Chain A
Amino acid sequence: MNLRAVMAICILTLREVARRRLLWILLGLSVVSALLVGWVVTQLVDYARSGGMSEVRIGLGVSQVLVFVAFMFSFVLAMSAAFLAAPAIAGDIESGTLLAMMARPISRADLVLGRWLGLCLVTATYAIASGVLAIGVVAQVSGYSPPDPGVAIGGLMGEAIATLTLALALGTRLPAIAAGSISVVCFGLSWFGGVLASAAGLLRAEALVPSMDGLRLLMPTDLLWRGVVHALEPPLVLLAARGIDPRSFASDPFFAIAPVSLGALTWTVVWIVGVLLVGMVAFGRREL
């Protein structure tokens, strides 16, 4: 591994995103989204207060709005990550930009790792900026702060990094548009697999649970999403849920009674590292 080459590619990626105005567009969209969320929450809270609703119930309502905002944001973030990462190598192969670069004394793995690091930094910056903005604006206008905002933002970041890793790895062998599309579909399937697995449990169709779980584990994104939801739920709701049969809300993708498990975190790390390594090997065997 040539660290100097990895850093050169990483910086090139950051510079590309900045020069092509992608980062500024994403951050601008985050500001617009946060202002929109702030305006909507302000309206809702004003209506609720004028109707004499208690602050506890308002807090519960706002927490659910925040979960939906996070849900929307997780898709936006994943799609942005996929469409940023898919052409990062595939586009350079198609345009011929890589020919001159790969004739230098660097390995294919250096290039993949450099691109991945750069894209992770961009995505992390986008996730942190957007998450902090959205949660901050909601707290400002409603007074509700989720219990673990850092965990929620970290979970969203993890989802985006998993999606970009898949798009980058697929882009070493497939055209950019195919790599991006497949990654977004896999992200959606994983989320849907999570819902189906829970529904199969609720409907006592235990025989279907393993296959639904398999679909869910296609990517670690649904596991992380459950952690995000848990981090945004008010402690009162979680406390109240302890007395209820978990199966009654297991199929609800907008409620999680437990934080993200160590097993889920391990699977996330193993999955990301594994897909990245597969991408390196696949690119290593690619004819340029």
Chain B
Amino acid sequence: MRDTQQPPHDPQAVVQTHGLRKTYGRHVALESLDLTVRRGQVIGLLGPNGAGKTTAVKLLLGLSRASAGGGTLLGRPLGDRRARTSVGYLPELFRYPQWLSAREVVWLHCQLCGLPRASWASWTQRALSTVGLEHRAKDRVGTFSKGMQQRLGLGLALLGDPQLVILDEPTSALDPVGRDDVRTIIRAARARGASVILNSHLLGEVERVCDEVIIIHRGRVIAAGGLRALLGAPSLRIVVSGLGDPVGLLRTFAPVMVEHDHLLLQPIEPERTPEVVQALVAAGGRVHEVEPVQRSLEDLFLELVRSGVTEATESFRLPRPPGP
């Protein structure tokens, strides 16, 4: 049975939901989302197509109404327009008035944000230069490529230094340089204390910038937690010969598992690899193979999505780490 009981308010939470559910007729778009995003956290929202990620974001922003459950956004109930005062949002389906110039689009959003008129010029300059569009400020959005329009959307999402930035597939139309810029933007937002919800299919991007991930499949959260906890500790795979007791030697570094023709040290940081190799060679061993092993987010994602939701929910759902 779904637990929709409201959790105690977390003073550090910018987003807190409990049992958030959305149905369209008989179709369940989102089963039950319990989500807490704290100040300065970057959360990755992952899932295959149609998993319910965009639905979750729309519920947070009041663009869609929950069928059950609820939550708060910046301390106000979901749907309260005042809660959106300090939220920046780049939608997955981004489109801006084509007949306006980039500068006019930013002005429009300055107005809608309620920013003082005197500050528009500086916000516009900042928003456009952050995403590399300052030289196209006077050009109509209709003349922009898809990637440039997505850059503009990113700039708008950062307008007014919001406390929460929600980016829905922010790199879908961007080249590798643009993707790198997005990572820089996300890190800069975190550095100034903002929280970021990143909704993306590009798991490598998520792995690089997110503190925690939530994996949604068929409207249900199937895994949630810190990347380190979800992916497990890194390990070192070694094939060595010429030693009487290699296990005993390697145990001085980390617990050892003997698997077929190789030994597996876990947990061990990849930075210690030269130290391990040096010890083996010094003891007279012949090192044939050394491979640092780390399960990637993509491995985890595919494993969870392909293995069936029910089992995965129980085995991978991890307790949330305590707040700061």
Interface residues of A, Cβ cutoff 8 Å to B: 2, 4-5, 8, 12, 15-16, 19-20, 95-97, 99-107, 285, 287-288
Contact = CB atoms under 8 A, between A and B. Distances in A.
25 contacts: A2-B81, A4-B111, A8-B108, A12-B97, A12-B108, A15-B100, A19-B99, A19-B100, A95-B95, A96-B91, A96-B93, A97-B97, A99-B91, A100-B89, A100-B90, A100-B91, A100-B96, A100-B156, A101-B109, A104-B109, A105-B82, A105-B113, A107-B81, A285-B65, A287-B63
Contacts, number: 77
A16 B111 contact: no
Interface residues of B, number: 32
Given A5-B112, A106-B112, A288-B58, 14 more contacts: A8-B108, A8-B111, A12-B108, A95-B95, A97-B97, A99-B91, A100-B91, A103-B91, A104-B109, A104-B112, A105-B85, A287-B58, A287-B63, A288-B64
A15 B99 contact: yes
Contacts of A102: 61-63
Given A104-B84, A287-B65, A97 B96 contact: yes
A103 B84 contact: yes
Contacts of A2: 81, 114
B112 A99 contact: no
B64 to A, nearest CB: 5
Contacts of A99: 63, 89, 91, 93-94
B114 A103 contact: no
Nearest to A20: B99
Contact of B112 (A20, A95, A97, A105): A105
B97 A105 contact: no
A15 B111 CA distance: 15
A97 B149 CA distance: 12
Contacts of B100: 15, 19
Contacts of B83: 105
B99 A16 contact: yes
Contacts of B93: 96, 99
B111 A96 contact: no
Given A4-B111, A8-B108, A8-B112, A103 B63 contact: yes
A96 B156 CA distance: 15
Contacts of B109: 100-101, 104
Interface string B57-88: 01001111100000000000000011111010
B153 interface: yes
Contacts of B94: 96, 99-100
Contacts of B114: 2, 4-5, 105
A95 B114 CA distance: 25
Interface in B103-123: 104, 108-109, 111-114
A12 B99 CA distance: 10
A5 B95 CA distance: 19
A103 B87 contact: yes
Contacts of B104: 15
Interface in B219-270: none
Nearest to B105: A100
Interface in B149-187: 153, 156, 166
Nearest to A97: B95
Contact of A100 (B64, B65, B81, B153): B153
Contacts of B96: 97, 100
A12 B108 CA distance: 8
A100 B156 CA distance: 9
B310 to A, nearest CB: 29
Contacts of B156: 100
Nearest to A103: B89
Given A16-B99, A99-B91, A99-B93, A106 B81 contact: yes
Nearest to B63: A288
Nearest to A19: B99
B156 to A, nearest CB: 6
Nearest to A17: B99
Nearest to A288: B63
A126 B83 CA distance: 40
A103 B61 contact: yes
A287 B79 CA distance: 12
A66 to B, nearest CB: 37
The 10 closest A-B pairs by CB, nearest first: A96-B93, A104-B112, A19-B99, A103-B89, A99-B91, A8-B111, A288-B63, A105-B85, A105-B84, A96-B95
A95 B94 CA distance: 9
A2 to B, nearest CB: 8
Contacts of A19: 99-100
A226 B58 CA distance: 48
Contacts of A97: 95-97
A70 to B, nearest CB: 33
B95 A16 contact: no
B95 A101 contact: no
A62 B83 CA distance: 61
A83 B109 CA distance: 27
B110 to A, nearest CB: 9
A100 B96 CA distance: 8
A16 B140 CA distance: 12
A155 to B, nearest CB: 32
A99 to B, nearest CB: 4
Q: Which of B63, B104, B156 has the most CB of A within 10 A?
A: B63
A285 B65 CA distance: 8
Interface string B125-146: 0000000000000000000000
